[in-house]
Structure 1
């Protein structure tokens, strides 16, 4: 029996150009054995007519709370009780905002508020609207309430721009609802299938004494997003993580370390058997105390001098190994002269790609959920616009996969 057979799916269609894809979603859901009822926002009717959904679902389409015949029997409550699943597709920025606020100012939002069925939303909007902090906060609120967020996909958009914001394809939405595959796996081509990828992420802590250490502000979120995206794109992934409190991405092998020396050893070990790709996203300490104290250092003088020594240069060592990964990607966190320092690092360390990000001022990548990258390689460069780190990771790996394929 299909995982959706005998389910009663309420498809709520929002008012965006991607509403045309909701027609295909209805057809795919019925092919999977589900009963389908469509409800539309007023704005959705400007993109697709009710006749289309009625023909595909076999049911009259609901569009308003002010249907006298339906509401005589409290139809919106009856419909909310009827559904065993609710899917909002496309979920526009406006609709996500109203759902996050718990509003009930039209039929769709009222149904979502009145139902006890599990709700999934499939966002679709301009990439800048998706990246906006307000939209990301609304999505985080919905996720915290148990709403399943499907997508969005990354690619060309109706507005002529390119980036995250495309509605997840109907087949992928159905697969996610079935629970037979991770939504992201269904949504993205397996361009790293058969590849072995090693990612380092987070800070390193260099102990001064049992209670103090030298560290930095890296949260590890960018590296974890890259590991997750690489797994979604089909790779076998090993994630070497510094001391951060982040959940392990599904399907990823995680190795936890603390110091730069430990990270170096774990990365070198993870590269065997031969890795295709190494992404050095960790913020590895450049210096470590020559001699850590066995006991807490007491405050006995006005000043304290620490003797520091250089830590292993993991990125340079990986790039110079024989055999080396087919592609080595480094990160450059800079507070000034970003392009010059990034290109200098590219050539000095003999790496294939450098992803540079600013870490000062309002645009700092530290301790936040979004990022922007300026990516450099030997004969070129490109920019990845500010977006949630998971989306930036996908864009970066799409570039990397192209270069891997070209040199494979």
Structure 2
């Protein structure tokens, strides 16, 4: 019997994947509290999951100002680079590939998490009225201040610096986080971007920040080692659904296409929720994308196999299944049982619920 295409190699830009099962970015809140540096434990965790065709790291903030949650790692200081080197080596030693997801949360933050207790920055001074974790519990996000031209210039430099830091740390590329109501997504949507300058108003203006981030990051890596994550149909972090989703994200995709990226990683529907969108809308956007396409959101073994076989996706990203199953690719290949997820250990803590999930080989032993 022929093995499903899901388990066959594929090339995404300059990235040669051994299979089409991708580990999605997963925030686990386990970085050092004092400097947002990864531990050696991160290397063990990602190394265990190196059977994936590609690992996309958890979101890594590009600057102290880009941080939105307690204990999330950064990718901008020498200490953070040194910490991430342990992880990239662990993955490479096991024959895997890993890209860093570079991330600025914009307004999804709290003053207690930011330098000198400053306000978060965003396209416009509109509060998300969402929640974030400040290290003691969940708190309402702080009202941001609208970014000045100088803020935008500085933030673009931060993206470039983070891309350089990711290269120094030994990553195989980067994924730009432009989804889930974070900074780039906030610029794209007319629900969160009320600017009247060159970065707001028309769709052409609202995609400007995305274009300039892509210019900064591909200037470091080239397009063939850069991916991007989008979530056009999601109201994650109360970002709001754009008044013209197809027009806005069609324009964003046209910008993305001009950079010949390694992949576009799409959250299909509501992030972590229903696979729901207007009739035909996903097909319309997906057909417009010229880069390899990574599908994401609630896929099972069967639906992933079907999507790749039908050429609806070049690869499929799995999130929570990879948390509880370090050997997920093996389990999917063999159609084996999956470990149950412990929801109490998702965020924060140490090895429990992080590096202690058994493999099939462990269970057999």
Q: What TM-score results when the alignment is normalised by the length of structure 1?
A: 0.30
> Using CA pairs below 8 Å that are at least 6 residues apart, which structure has the higher relative contact order?
2
In terms of Rg, which structure is larger?
A: 1
Q: What TM-score results when the alignment is normalised by the length of structure 2?
A: 0.33
- Structure with the largest fraction of strand: 1
